[in-house]
Amino acid sequence: MLAIGLMSGTSLDGIDAALIETDGAALARPIAMRGEPYSDAARAQLAEATALALTFERPRASPPLSAASDLITRTHALAVQKLLRDAGVAPGDVGVIGFHGQTVAHRPDRGWSWQIGDPQALANRSGIVTVGDFRSADVAAGGQGAPLLPVYHAARAAALEKPVAILNLGGVANITLVGADGALAAFDTGPANGLIDHWVEQETGERFDRDGALAATGRVDEAILTAMLDHPFFDARYPKSLDRNDFTIQPVRGLSAPDGAATLTAFTAATVAEALRLLPERPRRLLVAGGGRRNPTMMAMIAERTQLPVDPVDILGWDGDALEAEGFAYMAVRTLQGAPISFPGTTGVPAAMPGGTVFRPAVG
C-alpha cells in the first residue's frame, strides 16, 4: 500500500514527510519526500515544552505541553497536505500515516517515553488511518523504546554485503548492525548534532555548524574529550537509549567557539568508535543518514576514529533526510499487519513484538 511517514526529531529543525509504497516486508519503494521547517517561534515553543517535560517525574497534563501538542498536530497535518499535493496523490489512495510525534522526554528507566501530538486529530484532519504511539508498548514490556528504525534499515539493506551498519546522526546518534546472518543489533551511541548545535547557537548565534566549518578551525581538547568519554553509558551493554538532554555542553565551557565545536564533534566521533566495540560483529562499512552526514568534519573524524569506510547513504540512491520518516511509514504498515517492529537486539524487549496504536478517522 501507499504509506506516509512523519518524523520531527530532537533537533527541532522541522518535519520530514515521506511517501512510500510498501508491503511491510521486503518491498519499500520511496516515492516522494518533503521537508517542512519550523519557524523560529515554533522552535522556541517546542524547546520550552521539552524543557518543562524534563522536569516531570512522568507525563502529565500541562497547558504549555498541550499547546505544543496542538502545534505538532497542526504542522504535521499541513505537511501531509503538501506532500500529497507535491506527489499528485489523493488522500483516499493512502492506506496509513505513521505519526511519530515530537519526543519531549525519553525516560525508559522510569518506564515511559513521551511524544506529543494527537494521532486521532491527525487522522480526522487527513481522513487517513493513522498509527501513533510507537514506543509505549515497547517500554511497557521492558524495552528501551528506541531505536525503532532497525527493522526498516534491514529492509533497505537486504541486498547489501554484510555485516553492514547504518549510523543515524540526528540530535542523538544511533547505530544499526545488520549481521552476516541478517540478525539485528542496535542502540543509541551518544550525542550527535544536539550538543554541537547548542554550542554553536550559544557562541555564534547560528543554528548549527554549517559544513563543520567552525570545528574545522578549532583544536580538540583531548583532556576534556577524555573526561566526557568517562561516562558509564559508553561501557554499558546494549540495548540502551538516550534522551537528547542526557549530556550537556558544560564540559567545554571556557573554550573558544572553534575549540568547543571541534571537541564536541570529536566527542560524537569517539562515541561511535566506542560503540563498535560493543557490536557482535565489526561492520564492513558505515552508511550514514541524518543531518550529520552533511558535516564533512564530523564524517572525517568518524572515519579516522573507526578506521572504516564512512559514506552517506545517498551514494546508494537512498535519501538520507527521508530515511526516518520512511521508516515510520513502513512500521505503520507493519502495525496494521500485527507484525513486530522491535526486537530483543534493538530495544531489549524479551521477544519480537508489534507496536503502535491505530487511530481511524471519525465518521460524520
- The pLDDT score that the predictor gives to residue 10 is 81
Residue 235 forms part of a structural domain: yes
Strands 2-8 and 14-22: antiparallel
Query: Are residues 18 and 102 located together in one domain of the fold?
Result: yes
Query: Are residues 219 and 258 located together in one domain of the fold?
Result: yes
Residue in the structure block whose three cell numbers are 573507526: 306
Residue 364 forms part of a structural domain: no
- The pLDDT score that the predictor gives to residue 12 is 87
Q: The domain spanning residue 311 has which CATH number?
A: 3.30.420.40
- The pLDDT score that the predictor gives to residue 363 is 81
- The pLDDT score that the predictor gives to residue 364 is 63
Strands 130-132 and 357-359: antiparallel
Query: Are residues 122 and 241 located together in one domain of the fold?
Result: no
Query: Are residues 342 and 303 located together in one domain of the fold?
Result: no
Residue 336 forms part of a structural domain: yes
Query: Are residues 96 and 195 located together in one domain of the fold?
Result: no
Residue 330 forms part of a structural domain: yes
Query: Are residues 79 and 224 located together in one domain of the fold?
Result: no
Helix axes 257-278, 222-229, angle to 10 degrees: 40
Query: Are residues 14 and 138 located together in one domain of the fold?
Result: yes
Query: Are residues 210 and 113 located together in one domain of the fold?
Result: no
Q: Which residues of the chain have pLDDT under 70?
A: 364
Query: Are residues 231 and 334 located together in one domain of the fold?
Result: no
Q: What is the pLDDT of residues 43-102, one digit of tens each?
A: 999 999 999 999 999 999 999 999 999 999 999 999 999 999 999 999 999 999 999 999
**Residue 196 to residue 205: CA distance in whole angstroms:** 12
For residue 95, give the C-alpha cell: 492506506
Query: Are residues 157 and 137 located together in one domain of the fold?
Result: no
Nearest to 72 by CA among 48, 95, 99, 54: 99
Query: Are residues 164 and 232 located together in one domain of the fold?
Result: yes
**Residue 59 to residue 166: CA distance in whole angstroms:** 31
Q: What share of the chain is helix, strand, coil (3-state, %, to 5)?
A: 45, 20, 35
Sign of the CA dihedral with 349 first, then 341, 116, and 275 last: positive
- The pLDDT score that the predictor gives to residue 245 is 85
How many domains, in total, are found in the chain? 2
Residue 334 forms part of a structural domain: yes
Query: Are residues 131 and 248 located together in one domain of the fold?
Result: no
**Residue 58 to residue 168: CA distance in whole angstroms:** 28
- The pLDDT score that the predictor gives to residue 127 is 97
Residue 83 forms part of a structural domain: yes
Domain span at residue 191 reads 150-316
Q: What is the pLDDT of residues 125-172, one digit of tens each?
A: 999 999 999 999 999 999 999 999 999 999 999 999 999 999 999 989
Residue 155 forms part of a structural domain: yes
Taking the mean position of all CA atoms in its chain, how far away is CA 215?
A: 23
Residue 222 forms part of a structural domain: yes
